[in-house]
Amino acid sequence: MLIGFVALAWPLLASLLVANVSATLGIYGLAILLDVALFALWLVLAIRYGQRAARGDLFEIPWVARATGTTIPK
């Protein structure tokens, strides 16, 4: 949750530090581009995981396995 909050709040915090309107628009433009790129990455991963699950494969999502310390027995 903290990572999500920081991801949403960084453009606001950066724009508070800059008094230039053009720089503020640039910051928000960059934030939107990053959001679109991360959404596309998330969508590709979600589709791949969905396809694997539809085939009945057992698999681990790497970052979840690292965070929780769990693995699927092979």
Rounded Cα distance between 59 and 10, Å, is: 34
Mean pLDDT for 21-33 is: 92
Please report the pLDDT score of residue 74 as a whole number.
62
Average pLDDT for 14-35: 91
Q: Is residue 14 part of a domain?
A: yes
Q: Is residue 52 included in any domain, yes or no?
A: yes
Question: Around Cβ 27, how many Cβ atoms within 10 Å?
Answer: 19
**Domain span at 58:** 2-68
Is 74 a domain residue? no
Would the pLDDT of 56 be above 80?
yes
The structural domain count of the chain equals 1
Calpha distance 51→4 (Å, rounded): 26
Q: Averaged over 10-17, what is the pLDDT? A: 89
Residue 51 has pLDDT above 90, yes or no: yes
CA distance 26 to 20: 10
Q: Is the pLDDT of residue 20 over 80?
A: yes
Angle between helices 2-17 and 21-54 (to 10 degrees): 160
Q: What is the pLDDT of residue 2?
A: 84
